[in-house]
C-alpha cells in the first residue's frame, strides 16, 4: 500500500498484545471506517502476526483500513526458525510492516543496516515499510537528537528506494509508553530534519513520504500533535488496543493536519 499523499495516516501497533477476543476491536474500527468523520484519514492496524489472517476477514471490505506486521525477516523463506517473512505477512493479509521499532533496535539489537535489509525485504514482498527512528533521552540531553535521527533515516532507507513504498515514524524512545511527549517545537523541528534527509536520499518525490509521530499519542493530545508542521499522522501503541481510543485519535487526525 501507499498512504494517500495529503491525507493523514494513523497506524496502530498492538505489539505483543492480542488474543482472538481482541478481534472485536478490529471489527469496531472497521465498522467506524464507514462513517463520514473518518473520511479524511487512512488507517492501519498491526496486530500480532497470529491474528492477521482472521483480522483480514473482518477488514477486507474497508478500503481505508489496512493491516500490517510489526517486523519481518530479511529472507523470503528458508531455514530461519521463528521468523516471518514479508511475503508471509502479505499472504496473511498485511500491506505494510513496521520496521526498526525501538523495541527491536533495543531488545533485538537491530541496527540501521539490518533495518535497511528488512526494508528491502518489505519492498520485495510488496509491503509499505514504516521505518521507525528516534533518539534516547541521553542523546536528547546531550544535544545529539537531530544528528542521531538523521543518521538513522539515512542508514535505514533501502538502496534504490523510491518514495512510494516508504513511510517514516519519528518515535523518541523516551516518549514510548511513558505518557511524556516532546514539545511541539521539538516534534516539528525533528520532522523537518527527517524531511530533509528523505529529500536528499530520494529526491523531490520524498515530499510525498508520510512522516508519522509516535510516542504516547492519546485521544487528548492527538489534535495538537496533528496540527504541528510536518506531522503526517501517528504510530500509536497503547492507545491502539482499544477501538474507542484509536478511533478518537483517528478522528482528531482526520480533522486537522499538514500531511503528508
Answer yes or no: are the C-beta atoms of 260 and 5 closer than 8 Å.
Answer: yes
Q: Which residues contact 104 (CB under 8 A, 6 or more apart)?
A: 71, 110
Smallest gap from Cβ 132 to ligand PGA, in A, equals 7
* Element of type H or E holding 45: strand 42-46
Q: Does residue number 245 form part of the binding site for ligand PGA (CB under 6 A)?
A: no
Smallest gap from Cβ 100 to ligand PGA, in A, equals 11
The CA–CA distances, whole Å, from 175 to 130, 181, 183, 189, 223 equal 18, 5, 11, 16, 17
Answer yes or no: are the C-beta atoms of 168 and 235 closer than 8 Å.
Answer: no
Q: Of 29, 1, 30, which is closest to residue 210 (Cα–Cα)?
A: 1
Q: Does residue number 100 form part of the binding site for ligand PGA (CB under 6 A)?
A: no
Q: Of 167, 236, 211, 174, which is closest to residue 13 (Cα–Cα)?
A: 236
Smallest gap from Cβ 133 to ligand PGA, in A, equals 12
* From 18, 68, 233, 238, residue interacting with ligand PGA (rule: CB under 6 A): 238
Closer residue to ligand PGA in complex, CB, 165/234: 234
Active site residue 120: no
Q: Which three cell numbers stand for residue 51?
A: 491474528
* From 24, 177, 203, 205, residue interacting with ligand PGA (rule: CB under 6 A): 177
Task: Considering only the stretches 26-34, 49-57, 106-114, 213-221, report the one whose residues sit in contact with ligand PGA under the rule CB under 6 A.
Answer: 213-221
Q: Which three cell numbers stand for residue 97?
A: 510492516
Closer residue to ligand PGA in complex, CB, 98/198: 98
Residues in region 53-82 near ligand PGA by CB under 6 A:
none
Closer residue to ligand PGA in complex, CB, 125/237: 237
Residues in region 3-62 near ligand PGA by CB under 6 A:
13
Q: Does residue number 233 form part of the binding site for ligand PGA (CB under 6 A)?
A: no
Which residue out of 87, 101, 103, 110 is catalytically annotated? 101
Active site residue 171: yes
Q: Does residue number 171 form part of the binding site for ligand PGA (CB under 6 A)?
A: yes
Answer yes or no: are the C-beta atoms of 173 and 137 closer than 8 Å.
Answer: yes
Instruction: Report whether the peptide linkage leading into residue 211 is cis, meaning its omega lies within 30 degrees of zero.
Output: no
Binding stretches for ligand PGA (CB under 6 A): 13, 171, 176-177, 214-217, 235-239
Catalytic site positions = 101, 171
Amino acid at each position: 500500500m501507499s498512504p494517500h499523499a495529503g491525507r493523514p495516516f494513523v497506524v496502530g501497533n498492538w505489539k505483543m498484545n492480542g488474543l482472538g477476543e481482541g478481534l472485536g476491536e478490529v471489527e469496531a474500527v472497521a465498522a467506524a471506517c464507514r462513517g463520514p468523520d473518518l473520511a479524511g484519514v487512512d488507517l492501519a492496524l498491526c496486530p500480532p502476526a497470529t491474528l492477521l489472517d482472521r483480522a483480514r476477514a473482518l477488514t477486507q471490505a474497508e478500503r481505508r483500513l489496512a493491516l500490517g506486521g510489526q517486523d519481518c525477516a530479511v529472507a523470503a523463506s528458508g531455514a530461519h526458525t521463528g521468523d516471518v517473512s514479508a511475503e508471509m505477512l502479505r499472504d496473511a493479509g498485511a500491506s505494510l510492516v513496521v520496521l526498526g521499532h525501538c523495541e527491536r533496535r533495543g531488545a533485538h539489537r537491530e541496527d540501521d543496516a539490518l533495518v535497511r535489509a528488512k526494508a528491502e525485504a518489505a519492498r520485495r514482498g510488496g509491503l509499505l515499510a514504516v521505518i521507525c527512528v528516534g533518539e534516547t533521552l541521553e542523546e536528547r540531553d546531550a544535544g545529539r537528537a537531530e544528528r542521531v535521527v538523521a543518521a538513522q533515516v539515512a542508514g535505514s532507507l533501502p538502496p534504490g528506494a523510491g518514495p512510494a513504498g516508504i513511510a517514516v515514524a519519528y518515535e523518541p524512545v523516551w516518549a514510548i509508553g511513558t505518557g511524556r511527549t516532546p514539545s511541539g517545537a521539538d516534534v516539528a523541528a525533528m520532522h523537518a530534519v527527517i524531511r530533509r534527509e528523505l529529500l536528499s536520499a530520494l529526491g523531490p518525490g520524498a515530499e510525498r513520504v508520510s512522516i508519522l509521530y509516535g510516542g504516547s499519542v492519546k485521544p487528548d493530545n492527538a489534535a495538537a500533535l496533528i496540527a504541528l508542521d510536518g506531522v503526517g499522522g501517528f504510530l500509536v501503541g497503547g492507545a491502539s488496543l482499544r477501538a474507542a481510543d484509536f478511533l478518537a485519535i483517528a478522528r482528531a487526525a482526520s480533522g486537522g493536519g499538514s500531511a503528508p
